[in-house]
Amino acid sequence: MSQASIQYKQGLYSIVQATVGFAVLVLVLAGIGGTIYKVISPEGWVSQAFGRSLSAGAAALGSLALVGGLAWFSRSWGDVSRRTLVSDFLVYGFAAAGFLYLAQIWRGGL
């Protein structure tokens, strides 16, 4: 193989890899945004769980923030390979949720 053909294949591979990475980024951002919308919207998960009560909603959001804070502080404990597995699961989980949210929007509603 010539040097030009090897460089062409490497460039093509880099473009495909960047495109796939960008698609995953878009799906993850859509998943995070859609999840936040589903949590805090007037017909969202918090209002369905606790009704329209402001104090119950604030308590639910406060407890979610507390759990998130504890998870943030405990991230340095445990096996490194397990932490990367959990982070991969979260990233691809949000990407799957983003795909579902975008499919719902494309079908005509969220």
As for how many domains the chain has, the answer is 1
Q: Which of 78, 95, 84 is nearest to 34 (CA)?
A: 95
- For residue 21, the model assigns a pLDDT of 93
Half-sphere exposure in the Cβ direction for 35 (13 Å, CA): 14
Helix axes 80-107, 3-40, angle to 10 degrees: 70
Rounded to two decimals, the pTM is 0.68
Range of the domain at 18: 3-107
Per-residue pLDDT, averaged over 2-27, amounts to: 92
| pLDDT 10s digits, 23-81 | 999 999 999 998 888 887 777 777 777 766 666 667 767 777 877 777 776 666 666 66
